[in-house]
Amino acid sequence: MDVLIIAVLAILVVGVLLKSHRSRNPPLPPGPKPWPIIGNVLDMPTERPWDTYSEWCRQYKSDILYLRLPMQHAIILGTFKAATELFDKRSHTYSDRLNNVVLQLMRIDDILVVARYNAVWKAQRRIFHQYFGQSTVEQYREIQLHHARLFLTWVHETPADVRQHVRRWITSIIVLVTYGKTITGMNDEYVATAQKAVEGVSVASVPGVHWLNYFPLIRYIPSWVPGNASMKFVKEYGPIEIQVKDMPYNEAKAGVENGTAVPSIASALIEEIKTKYADTEEEPTQENIAKTATSTVYGAGTDTTTSSAEFFLLAMAMYPEVQRKAHAELDRVVGSTRLPDSDDLPQLPYLRAIFLEVLRWFPVTPFGVPHVNTAEDTYEGYHIPKDTLIIPFIPERYLDKNGEINKQAEEQVLAISFGFGRRYFAEEALSMYMATTLHALNITAGKDDDGHPVELRAEMGGALVSTPITVPRGFEPRSKAAMTLISDLQAGLELESASAF
């Protein structure tokens, strides 16, 4: 009880100081009225937060909103213009992240997507640029092509398991590229563990879900105490996060040491650390950075790419006229005797437009990963205090008045979907998957387990990463020629070893 009284008194004192300081600055943006002491913490949505943010923007007729959380300012950005101005043009001030106590206790607050802006963050960023920049993604094209074609065989054989097949497709690519490990099915131990870990990071990163982030003293209350959901969450997910970070990296390291390692990002980093830092004080630090960076590849890429791939299938089933136009373009460019490859993609502008429209239609991260500013600032006449939690929420459409996607709109959609910094690896993997799937299959709603037509809905759920509520289950070859292509794949590709790449 004494601890609680001290915490409340501290908040009251800070509140008085903030009120005095605020009077000398421009006004704060509009927003919901805060409660005494706890501020707007009860207003923060824990499910489908983008719906609440959108409603607030309409209610307060503003693209920048202010909320007061315990010991924390929060700003919601409701337009691409505002997000670009702060995160891009003023990135030196807005590149930091929230000090997330839940992630700290789970020992994963250093992964790139949620890490504070420091030397470790910069080192991980360098790794991502080195292995996933525009000039390096070409080396992964054969792997992406191979798995896009494998997806055809999986979904044609068991269309009811389409969600599992989509996740297996991107998981297989990322795990092979990152660790040199071949995934043989979705029952693979690493896949199940990693999926649980991604779920943990996603829920832990949504603002307002965990009171522990605003009242850190809760960490000293046992997890079995009723109402202490945050510490129960940490106890459940913490060991899983560490396992996913350590297990595949250590396997790759053992392969490097005994000479059996398959070429991968992890093996390359292990060799680099061995060459530069072996038996030095810096070696453990560099190894932890490498472990963290490689585990982030899975966490940052699998859920978002899976979601985009599922939204694509949903869009094609719900808009058959768009699907027919894409079929016509593929027939014209690729023909009926082969499947598309990466060289065909630049010749498929309508497919590119579908790719962008899917990302725009349902952004997989509707409000992005929150940022924190390192200095006071002013935007549109409003004061933004230092260390404010900045939540980008961007519901706009990015088409010109004729309904066509232009270059500026393309960059906007990519920034919303992949962050302010392009992710070429995900773009190419998705594009190849879309081209291959559309070229061979007609995508329809299909039937549920009871034999009734699947009722498709353009709705999304999820936490940090959104997912479609429904997905189609109808995947039939477009023609006899397409059936022959799929049969050839089923007869040959499954017999090949993906590790040959």
Closest by Cα among 173, 123, 184, 111 to 148: 173
In percent, how much of the chain has pLDDT > 90?
35
Amino acid 104: pLDDT: 84
Q: 44-53, 124-133, 262-271, 288-297: which has the minimum mean pLDDT?
A: 44-53
Q: Mapping DSSP to helix (H, G, I), strand (E, B) and coil, where does residue 182 land?
A: coil
Closest by Cα among 307, 301, 357 to 471: 307
What is the H or E stretch that residue 390 is in? strand 389-392
Q: How many residues does the chain have?
A: 501
Quickly list DSSP for 428-491.
HHHHHHHHHHHHHEEEE--B-TTSPBP-----EEESSSEEES----EEEESSHHHHHHHHHHHH
Amino acid 407: pLDDT: 58
Between residues 123 and 87, the one the model is more confident about: 123
How does residue 275 score in pLDDT terms, banded at 50, 70 and 90?
very high
Q: Residue 461: phi, psi to the nearest 5?
A: -130, -170
How does residue 421 score in pLDDT terms, banded at 50, 70 and 90?
very low
Q: Show Cβ contacts of residue 56 under 8 Å, excluding neighbours closer than 6 positions.
A: 31, 32, 65, 76
Average pLDDT over residues 127-136: 82
Q: 37-46, 61-70, 286-295, 329-338: which has the minimum mean pLDDT?
A: 37-46
Average pLDDT over residues 283-306: 86
Amino acid 337: pLDDT: 92
pLDDT at 352 over 50: yes
How does residue 420 score in pLDDT terms, banded at 50, 70 and 90?
very low
Helices 162-179 and 283-318, axial angle in degrees (round to 10): 150
Closest by Cα among 175, 132, 139, 116 to 295: 175
Furthest-apart CA atoms within the chain: distance in Å: 76
pLDDT at 485 over 70: yes
Report how far residue 33's alpha carbon sits from residue 68's, in angstroms, rounded to the nearest whole number: 9
How does residue 30 score in pLDDT terms, banded at 50, 70 and 90?
very high
Most confident of 53-62, 98-107, 148-157: 148-157
Q: What is the pLDDT of residues 218-267, one digit of tens each?
A: 888 888 888 888 899 999 999 998 888 899 999 999 999 999 999 999 99
pLDDT at 418 over 70: no
Q: Mapping DSSP to helix (H, G, I), strand (E, B) and coil, where does residue 377 land?
A: strand
pLDDT at 46 over 90: no
How does residue 7 score in pLDDT terms, banded at 50, 70 and 90?
very low
Amino acid 176: pLDDT: 94
pLDDT at 16 over 70: no
Q: Are 362 and 466 in contact (CB under 8 A)?
A: yes
pLDDT at 377 over 50: yes
Cα 346 → chain centroid? 25
Q: Are 342 and 178 in contact (CB under 8 A)?
A: no
Tell me the one-letter amino acid at 188. Answer: D
Q: What is the pLDDT of residues 428-467, one digit of tens each?
A: 899 999 999 999 999 999 999 999 999 998 887 766 677 8
pLDDT at 169 over 60: yes
Closest by Cα among 299, 447, 428 to 355: 428
Q: Show Cβ contacts of residue 51 under 8 Å, excluding neighbours closer than 6 positions.
A: 45
Cα 54 → chain centroid? 20
Domain residue spans in the chain?
Answer: 95-365+419-500
How does residue 86 score in pLDDT terms, banded at 50, 70 and 90?
confident
Q: Which residues of 328-363 are buried (b: 16+ CB within 10 A; e: fewer)?
A: ebbeebbeeeebbbbebbeebeebbbbbbbbbbbbb
Amino acid 383: pLDDT: 86
Q: 174-188, 260-274, 275-289: which has the minimum mean pLDDT?
A: 174-188
Q: 85-94, 155-164, 268-277: which has the minimum mean pLDDT?
A: 85-94
Q: Which CATH superfamily is domain 95-365+419-500 in?
A: Cytochrome P450 (1.10.630.10)
Q: Are 404 and 349 in contact (CB under 8 A)?
A: no
Q: Show Cβ contacts of residue 311 under 8 Å, excluding neighbours closer than 6 positions.
A: 358, 361, 362, 364, 460, 468
Amino acid 403: pLDDT: 42
> On the CB side of 472, how many CA atoms lie within 13 Å of its CA?
22
pLDDT at 210 over 70: yes
Mean of per-residue pLDDT scores for the chain: 81
pLDDT at 273 over 50: yes
Q: What is the pLDDT of residues 18-28, one digit of tens each?
A: 454 445 678 88
Q: Are 388 and 372 in contact (CB under 8 A)?
A: yes
Between residues 109 and 179, the one the model is more confident about: 179
Q: Are 367 and 463 in contact (CB under 8 A)?
A: no
Report how far residue 437's alpha carbon sits from residue 430's, in angstroms, rounded to the nearest whole number: 10
Q: What is the pLDDT of residues 173-182, one digit of tens each?
A: 999 999 999 8
Report how far residue 407's alpha carbon sits from residue 440's, in angstroms, rounded to the nearest whole number: 29
| Residue position matching structure tokens 């093996």 | 267
Model pTM above 0.85: no
Cβ count within 10 A of residue 257 = 11
pLDDT at 492 over 80: no
Report how far residue 163's alpha carbon sits from residue 183's, in angstroms, rounded to the nearest whole number: 16
Amino acid 494: pLDDT: 53
Cβ count within 10 A of residue 229 = 14
Average pLDDT over residues 493-499: 52
At 420, list the tokens.
């302010």
At 456, list the tokens.
């498709």
For 424, counting Cβ atoms within 10 Å of its Cβ (0-12 exposed, 13-18 middle, 19+ buried), the class is middle
| Residue position matching structure tokens 């940052």 | 300
> On the CB side of 273, how many CA atoms lie within 13 Å of its CA?
24
Between residues 53 and 168, the one the model is more confident about: 168
Report how far residue 335's alpha carbon sits from residue 329's, in angstroms, rounded to the nearest whole number: 9
User: What DSSP state is assigned to residue 66?
Assistant: E
Q: Which residues of 25-42 are buried (b: 16+ CB within 10 A; e: fewer)?
A: eeebbebbebeeebbbbe
Average pLDDT over residues 27-34: 91
pLDDT at 6 over 50: no
Amino acid 108: pLDDT: 80
